[in-house]
Amino acid sequence: MVIRYTTAQSTGPMRRRGTLAIVMLATVAGLTAMTASAGARQARPVQAVEATAPREAGDPIMAIVSIKSQQVTFYDADGWIYRAPVSTGIKGRETPAGVFALIEKDKDHHSTLYDDAWMPNMQRITWNGIALHGGPLPGYAASHGCVRMPYEFAEKLFDKTEIGMRVIISPNDAAPTDFSHPALFQPTREALAAAPARAAKLSREAEDAARVADDAKQAAATATRETASLTASLRKLEQAKTRADADLAYTNKLLAAAKTDQAKARAADLQQKATAKASDAATQLDTAKGDSKSKLDAAAAAKDAAKAAATKKTETAKAATDAKLALEPVSVYISRATQKLYVRRNTHKAWPDGGEVFDSSIEVPVTIRDPEQPIGTHVFTAMARKDSGLRWSVVTIDSGDNAKDALDRVTIPQDVLDRIAPTALPRSSIIISDEPLSSETNYRTEFVAVLSNQPQGGFITRKPTPRVDDAIASNDGWGNNDGFSFFQRSWQPDPQPQFLPPPGYYYQRRRGGPYEQRQVQQPNGLW
């Protein structure tokens, strides 16, 4: 009993101390867990949510994707109108940060390369497979380079956007801010008012010139066919005269070389016959020339008229095309890397393999002060008209000079300004960047430029678009057969990439199915 009591007395305090220690440890652990959880919540970016502006939305002018916040925001002339969470590219297949524009739309797109993967309400921004489309959103970057949006959100936006709408993918949060600068295009009211009538007038002149050229070409061809037999006859008569003259010259030599009376008589006889033959050949040739001169002159005049008409056709077609382009928003890209200025405008001519043709007829050197110094990447956009011209905004997505200093450093050639500034419209833009244009910029894109200081895994692991070496559109690019062509340079594609194996699994809806998720092996495609 004593032993039992003593043991009880001695173990009681130990249990109480042990219990207290356990409580203290649990408290410390709980506090530590709470602190860690709070830290984790602080470190985790705020979850993007879908939202619609509390006002009537206008037509979207631009979309800005923030890779940092995993959010896309669409803007009209007066500010943001729609926001939604997105899922961009995973590590190694990152969505490229840079400047893009919509180049193709497909309501029910399925990958032609990767297991028929479903990409609903696809809005393409590069031909090598980067796009905005509906898809599952796990709450973090999970795609293979595309920008996934909520299914219903992508469906809602699909019919509201247009080919050519600016898409800016920023590594950080970015938004357009109001901006003004003397270098930004400010159209003249008179030029804007006159532009539609001028385009219609020049279009009629181009059509008339095309008809005249076609008629002149046909008349020249008819005249050429009609004079073909005359030309052949004259050629034969000329050849006969040449032979007769040669025979006469030969008999003259024979007569001069004759030594005997008999030889002289024979040579004289030959000379007489040759003289008569040469005279007859000359007479026939002169008569034929006289008879055919009017017809030959008419054929020559028809050829000259056809050449002049073809020249006028080309000139009027170019003028008509320029006038039509003046009715479209203009986009200008200024690259510090290449020291060039590029102009793009949508012709709205559908290309058989998808997308629309963009005019690229202006590409000129540009002067940038202190060209060795970074200038950043700035997108200036004409948001709407105002009494004095256009209201502009700017979005900066890469460090360098501020937007004002960047514009101050650039001198746009006056002849370019004269061509595009007087009729600049809302949605026009000026992009200034340290970056060269990507090789993805081609005849079916506006501008594609990616930030070289940001990961591009989802971009560089894709096949580049095919190389185009020659003129990419016959006629005038607007569907008129007037002989004017847009010439496309041979853009050098990136080296053939090696595709990475698709990691894990992915969720998609099969063609025609409901909005449900099924686990399938993840494709590359446009994801």
Q: Are 477 and 358 in contact (CB under 8 A)?
A: no
Buried b (16+ CB within 10 A) or exposed e, 52-82: ebeeebeebbbbbbbbebbbbbbbbbeebbb
Write the burial class of residue 42 (CB in 10 Å: 0-12 exposed, 13-18 middle, 19+ buried): exposed
Could you confirm whether 110 is annotated as catalytic? Answer: no
The label of the residue with tokens 């297949």 reads 93
Residue type, 401: D
Beta partners for residue 332, in sequence order: 343, 430
Distance of CA 14 to the CA centre of its chain: 81
Q: For residues 527 and 516, give the distance between their C-alpha atoms in angstroms, rounded to a whole number.
A: 17
Q: For residues 66 and 43, give the distance between their C-alpha atoms in angstroms, rounded to a whole number.
A: 17
Structure token pair of residue 498: 């090696």
Residue type, 149: M
The label of the residue with tokens 């200081």 reads 453
Structure token pair of residue 33: 């867990």
Q: For residues 314 and 192, give the distance between their C-alpha atoms in angstroms, rounded to a whole number.
A: 25
Could you confirm whether 146 is annotated as catalytic? Answer: yes
**Of the listed 109, 110, 144, 146, which one is catalytic?**
146
Buried b (16+ CB within 10 A) or exposed e, 334-349: bbbeeebbbbbbbbeb
Spatial neighbors of 505 by CB under 8 A, at least 6 apart, are 519, 520, 521, 522
**Of the listed 109, 133, 144, 378, which one is catalytic?**
133
Catalytic residues, by residue number, are 133, 146
